[in-house]
Amino acid sequence: LLDGLAAAVRARRALPAKAAAVAASACASAEAPKSSLFRESNAQLPTDNLRIRGVQALVPAACLQEELPHSGRAAGVVTETRSVLQKLFSAPDGGSDRLVVVAGPSTLHDVDTALQYAARLADAAKTFEGELVVLMRCRYSAPDSSDWRGLVMDPDLNGSLNINMGLSTARELLQAVNQLGLPVASEFSDTTVPQYLADLVSWAQ
């Protein structure tokens, strides 16, 4: 019993010394530089973006639309075609028996050739407008089997990836096609590019 009581006294006497040691340790920790949970913006970790060659800022979609606004005719073509397609798809057995035709290349890479094709297709669309609703397929992305990234991602076809130029080129092309009175169909494979082009597209998947 006495041994136990004596040990308790010795333990109590040791408390002030331990408290002082803890306080000294806390002060030392406060003086040492703290490691942040967040990296500085200019810090580069050896595991950061190892497969990223570079980062390119995109022009905001609203700025490009302001720079290249669609014309009144283009807006009319898109609005009218969307309305027609909505009626055809929602009531395929009533109202109209016109057939919807989406015609065009697998992907676009040459603007001049695309516009020549669009002009000929627009003439054909007018010829058969009583039976057909013709849209030109304007796909801006490349097939998965191709090393080329597509008109938007690589408009120069040389791997330079001038995306801002590609967005402008694609928007100008869609404007020109709509100006011919020919509506556009496209394929949206991401959620970014449609912000720049969707107002010029009558139907997309």
pLDDT tens for each residue of 73-119: 999 999 999 999 998 888 766 567 789 999 998 888 889 999 999 99
What pLDDT score was predicted for residue 13? 62
- What CA–CA distances, in Å, run from 48 to 43, 53, 119, 170? 10, 11, 48, 32
Kindly report the backbone phi and psi dihedral angles of residue 66, in degrees, each rounded to the nearest multiple of 5, phi listed first.
Answer: -70, -35
What pLDDT score was predicted for residue 38? 39
Residues whose CB is less than 8 angstroms from the CB of residue 102 and which lie 6 or more positions away in sequence, other chains included:
135, 136, 137, 185, 203
Prediction pTM value = 0.71
165-183 pLDDT, tens digit per residue, is 999 999 999 999 999 999 9
Say yes or no to pLDDT of 152 above 50. Answer: yes
Q: What is the mean pLDDT of residues 11-15?
A: 68
Using CB atoms within 10 Å of the CB of residue 111, give its burial: 0 to 12 exposed, 13 to 18 middle, 19+ buried: middle
Percent of the chain with pLDDT over 70: 74
pLDDT band at 35 (very low <50, low <70, confident <90, very high): very low
Is 121 or 30 the better-scoring residue by pLDDT? 121
